[in-house]
Amino acid sequence: MTNPRAEAAYRHASAAFRNPTLYLLHGRYAPFVIAALSLVFTAERPTVTVADAHVEVGDIAEALRASGEENLPVGTGREICRYWVRVGWLVPHIDDSSGTGTEVYRLSAQAVSALEIAGRAGGRVRVSRSRMRTLLDSIDQLVSDSETDPETRRATLLAERDALDAQLSRLEAGEVEPVDDDQLLEEAENVLHLSRELPADFVRVAESINEMQRDVVADLRRDVRPAGEVLREYLHRGQHVMDATPEGRAFAGALELIGEPEHIDRLTDQLQNLLAQPFARHLPVTQQHDLAAVAHRVEQGVTEVLTAQRRASHVITAQVRTHDPVRDREVDDLLRTVMSGLQSWMPQSSRGDRVDPLRSFPAAKVGALRRNLNDLQPESAPEPLHASEEAPEFEGTEGREWGGPRYEDLENYIGSREDADFDLAEAFAHLAAPARRPVDLLGLLEIAHRNGMVETGDIATVEARRPDGTVRRFAFGDVTAGTTGTTTGQENTDD
């Protein structure tokens, strides 16, 4: 007979015990881990340089071995810390605040939670008036925020105002009811209980942002979507990284209450005034220190989360700007080629075989390359063109009509004129219809240029007719030129 509820409960408990926090607390060396982490990392020292952590953890282990403790890990402080990094209790990162880029360790969210659980173990856990009031106030606030009826909310606010007015009236009448020290001590313990959960919450928010950053960069490197879509989405996520995770959205709401510097200063002043009260002398010294450090822990946690946010935004934006899909594909192809070559070589090789490394890339064998760009002319002149004595033959007349200028006909026409000078526009207008093509206008202008043309300063217009009958009008600065000194187009080409 199966029991689904028992199976579901067992699976849930098994998943919970796979959590790094519970794994740390139930590990073989859990007492040493908790003791070492609590000594090395404190509220005033949330990060420790890697070298200092290795030395301090090694000293703690040596001191405990010398005192006769047996249930201790083996190895140096460096080996112990590296193992803690692998299992997720320590997080290494680069500290940019000092400007030197020093590698430091900080506690992970799971390690902070484990230290919090271990710190509460053996303490007084009791149902007090302060804790019940905290619970009831939270429920009242939840009910008030979820209420949508304006009249109900108005009645609630009026009742709160009446209660405040009654308290003011009693104070004005001199009726002050002192609170006994036991109740004040209970409320102080409740404050400490709530404050112990803050470091783990802040670290959890920072780690969720870092995890989102790693996911974004990994998705970007896969290159499975168009580049434009990737740029738009990831730049947007980089600018709104705080809204991308549930922890980030929750922290953004809490930041509205504690994010301003004056709020932190006000909290510090309140705690200092609280410790100056007579009942605070009954608190243990450790609790007094913890109570005084609440504001510092809050400020430190806010700074850590905002630093993680800025780092994630910078990494995502930099990755998007420097991402080169073509280069990544080339590297992937190269790695696949290397792996394929190794798979082919390994079955055929023996233990003593050696592979000659590629010490340099092969050089391309090319001819002479231009060594400077100050002279763009070719190094040698091209071969001269030689005119053929035989005139070119055209099949039909259509190909010739769409060809270049008829230099010979144009030069004969200019040479047959009686006047010493000719006007380019007037001469073109008196050409026969087949010779008044646009290309013949250019040929006539070339002849005029060779004969020494002179600009008149006027604007001339001519009509040219293409072989298909279409007409084009051209306007240009009118010129005149001499009719003597012409050469054939073929002779000019030979020169």
- Domain closes at, from 90, 120, 150: 120
Q: Give pTM, 2 decimals.
A: 0.48
- Whether 54 shows a pLDDT value over 90: the answer reads yes
Confidence at 487, pLDDT banded by 50, 70, 90: very low
Quick one: 98 and 216 in the same domain?
Answer: no
Whether residue 41 lies inside any domain: the answer is: yes
Quick one: 103 and 204 in the same domain?
Answer: no
pLDDT at site 369: 64
Average pLDDT over residues 391-414: 74
- Domain closes at, from 69, 85, 120: 120
- Domain closes at, from 89, 120, 151: 120
Confidence at 56, pLDDT banded by 50, 70, 90: very high
CB contact at 8 A, 91 and 107: yes
Quick one: 32 and 115 in the same domain?
Answer: yes
Whether residue 161 lies inside any domain: the answer is: no
- Whether 491 shows a pLDDT value over 50: the answer reads no
- Whether 383 shows a pLDDT value over 70: the answer reads yes
pLDDT at site 240: 63
Whether residue 346 lies inside any domain: the answer is: no
Whether residue 390 lies inside any domain: the answer is: no
Whether residue 168 lies inside any domain: the answer is: no
Whether residue 88 lies inside any domain: the answer is: yes
Whether residue 144 lies inside any domain: the answer is: no
Whether residue 484 lies inside any domain: the answer is: yes
Average pLDDT over residues 182-187: 79
What's the total number of domains in the chain?
3
pLDDT at site 55: 92
Q: Which of 52-56, 97-101, 344-348 has the lowest mean pLDDT?
A: 97-101
**What CATH number should be reported for the domain holding residue 50?**
1.10.10.10
Domain hosting 206: range is 197-326
Quick one: 13 and 97 in the same domain?
Answer: yes
Per-residue pLDDT tens digits for 421-448: 888 888 888 888 777 888 888 888 888 8
Per-residue pLDDT tens digits for 69-82: 888 888 898 999 99
Quick one: 222 and 315 in the same domain?
Answer: yes
**Which has more confidence, 428 or 125?**
428
